[in-house]
Amino acid sequence: MQNNNVLIGVVAAVVILGGGYFLWQSSQSAPATDTGTNTSTDTSGTQSETSDTGVSVDVGATVSTAPSSATINYDGHTFSPSSVTIAKGGTVTFKSSVATMEVASGQHPTHTTYDGTTRAQHCAAGATPSFDQCVAGTSYSFTFQKVGTWPYHDHDNASAFGKVVVE
């Protein structure tokens, strides 16, 4: 019986010392708090006021890490890379190592995926340019102003396709 009391006492001492050490470690690594009021400016230019912690967090802000440009090469059969990701407002340049290519938005043959107009409509004289390359060539660049996933292909070889992801 006396051995059981000693054992219980040792276990209780270990638990108490362990708990005390844990609490001490937690208090050593806790961040300092500021009980004052701070004003900060977020990325949209609005100010938010904080109190107690002094930390301001804008949950509506997003930061894209996508590049602002990309180059896609075409060998007459395939686009490489077949998929790129860019930031909104970024430009993709298509380069061909063959005589000509005609980059066209999805889906063949309507080409309406990017802006809802057909290739004939947005390639007509005086029309607002869209994703489609309206004249065959060896280089074509387009600046994407819409967020989304935009399929493309070579209009003269619809089996050669890829996609541009705009964030």
pLDDT band of residue 33 (cuts 50, 70, 90) is: very low
Query: What are the tens digits of pLDDT across the range 101-130?
Result: 999 888 788 778 888 888 888 888 888 878
Whether residue 68 has pLDDT greater than 50? yes
Sketch the domain layout of the chain as residue ranges: 69-166
Which is nearest to 81 in space by CA: 152, 148, 158?
Answer: 152
Distance CA 121, CA 78 (A): 27
Looking at domain 69-166, its CATH architecture is Sandwich (2.60)
- The DSSP annotation for 125-144 comes to TTPPP-SS--S-BSEEEEE-
The predicted model scores a pTM of 0.60
